[in-house]
Structure 1
Amino acid sequence: MRFSVKDQLNHEILLPGLPRRIVSLVPSQTELLFDLGLGSSIVGITNYCIYPTDKVKGLTKVGGTKNFNIEVIKKLSPDLIIGNKEENEREGIEALKKYFPVWMSNIICLDDALDMITGIGTLTGKTPEAENIVSSIQRSFSLLQYSNTFSKSVAYLIWRKPYMVAASHTFIDDMLQRAGFTNAFASLLRYPYITAVQLQEAQPAYIFLSSEPYPFKEKHLAEFQALCPTSTVLVVDGELFSWYGSRLEHSAAYFSKLVLLG
């Protein structure tokens, strides 16, 4: 039975029925699909869709999140493609829409992420499973909000050479606030490049070096400690700050541990 749903860009998506052949263009949403019990319906994923590790290996890879191969996707004949406004290029998404239903997420904060999980549950016939995941995430974050009230400043680095930070109007910024931190670069938008001097002038209490997209390691700690001797410099799990699917079930507990480290 045909039905229509709206995605997070308020676009109406017409589906011929519950999807049976899904292509996911976003790693965190791929993991969510598996956790919703849709593994047998996933026919294509990106090169960066790495979870669940034991279940993604045999699936067809359609390229990157920005440069997916439309011809490969066509051969998979999906009845649903799931993407994201920030992670996927608009030109490629518009090209796919000529052939297939494409449901797009648009996520800036936790509430958007929960709405996305609910929405994907609805359009795939997995509403109870989605509600369980949403409830689990809400419970964990409600406990976190009561425990973290110190609000120390943090510079969250996502790239090196040149330095790039997660600033305001990003999902990472919302996660930092919910974890009890203030963003040292809240006056800037999105993902700006910054200089070493700007980092020093910000005088953050913490410098978080994200494990993705740039693979910061322990070997990079000294570089930033030299720039900001009074800051606490940590390598942090970028997936738990930036993945907005079911991995959020583990984020709040991780944030609590970061607070204790400080």
Structure 2
Amino acid sequence: MTTTPDFLVDALGHQHAPAPAARIVCLVPSITELLCDLGLAGKLVGRTGFCIHPRDVVAAIPKVGGTKDVNIEKIRKLAPTHVVVNIDENAKPTVEELAGFVPHVVVTHPNTPRDNVPLARLMGGIFGAEEAAARWCLAFEAEYAALHASPKGPARTVLYCIWQDPWMTVSKDTYIANMLAELGWRVPDLGTDRYPRFAWSQALVDGLDAVLLSTEPYRFTEEHTDALEKQLGIPVVLVDGEMMSWYGSRALAGLRYLQTLK
């Protein structure tokens, strides 16, 4: 039997008493999917328009705007007991405004693949799905072990692009970079921002083994990869942005997806 602690602590050290009768607004797409997979869809009263998985389940959950342009009044009318936010996804002023009328703001910040384990336990512990969370964690540990039991490819330096006009990438302290690190790959240091802008130069290209173009948030396509590869003269690969950046439920498939990139 799983026991519930008197309180749980989120990414910023906030304490949360278990609340199995919660009304949840989730402003983090990947965590909306995780909550559904833990059997908590019935407690979700609001989501963003980017919370698209699982499609058949979230279709019935009201939208409250985007991750950055949240409709505060819609959330107020839904009278949630909890709102789930993320440091990278949601703007601090928005979160502070929500904290003025939502009793519990659960702040998340998974930054490495292994952070998915405490994330799942936190969601299960707060919302009364401890056993489902424990099963999910076992599945994650199995996928993680399988990844590291498989032969490793060569170490590489890769530039992971998330946007163009302006071109933007990820820093080494992001979830995406830490996913790549599971393969022994590193991203170049292009500044202090978590998602720095950059300009192409021969010096930059000379230090790379490959460029990865992500399918989200910018919708890079094979046409982009073909054109950029001809321009740069090094391998350019299209990668599934959900597999690389969605923590929570999609991390299970994400760990398997990493093996296809070796």
Give TM-score, length-normalised by structure 2.
0.91
Q: Distance in 2 between matches of 1:75 and 1:136?
A: 37
Q: Distance in 2 between matches of 1:36 and 1:252?
A: 19
Q: Is the counterpart of residue 183 in structure 1 residue 187 in structure 2?
A: yes
Give 1:30's aligned residue.
32
Give 1:98's aligned residue.
100
Give 2:110's aligned residue.
107
Q: Distance in 2 between matches of 1:34 and 1:196?
A: 41
RMSD: 1.8
Answer whether contact 2:85 2:107 (CA < 8 A) is retained: yes
Figure out how many residues of one structure are paired with residues of the other and give that number: 255
Give 2:3's aligned residue.
none
The structural deviation recorded for 1:179 is 2.5
Q: Describe the SS at the equivalent of 2:213.
A: strand
Structure 1, unaligned stretches of length 5 or more? none
Give 2:84's aligned residue.
82
Q: Is the counterpart of residue 224 in structure 1 residue 228 in structure 2?
A: yes
Give 2:241's aligned residue.
238
The structural deviation recorded for 1:14 is 5.0
Structure 2, unaligned stretches of length 5 or more? 1-5
The structural deviation recorded for 1:86 is 1.2
Give 1:205's aligned residue.
209
Q: Describe the SS at the equivalent of 1:95.
A: helix
Q: Distance in 2 between matches of 1:71 and 1:168?
A: 37
Structure 2 residue corresponding to 1:173, chosen from 159, 177, 180: 177
Q: Is the counterpart of residue 163 in structure 1 residue 163 in structure 2?
A: no
Answer whether contact 2:209 2:235 (CA < 8 A) is retained: yes
Distance 1:186 1:234, change over 3 A: same
The structural deviation recorded for 1:111 is 2.6
Give TM-score, length-normalised by structure 1.
0.91
The structural deviation recorded for 1:118 is 1.0
Structure 1 residue corresponding to 2:258, chosen from 235, 248, 255: 255
The structural deviation recorded for 1:70 is 1.1
- Identity percentage of aligned residues: 34
Distance 1:143 1:187, change over 3 A: farther
Q: Distance in 2 between matches of 1:19 and 1:88?
A: 25
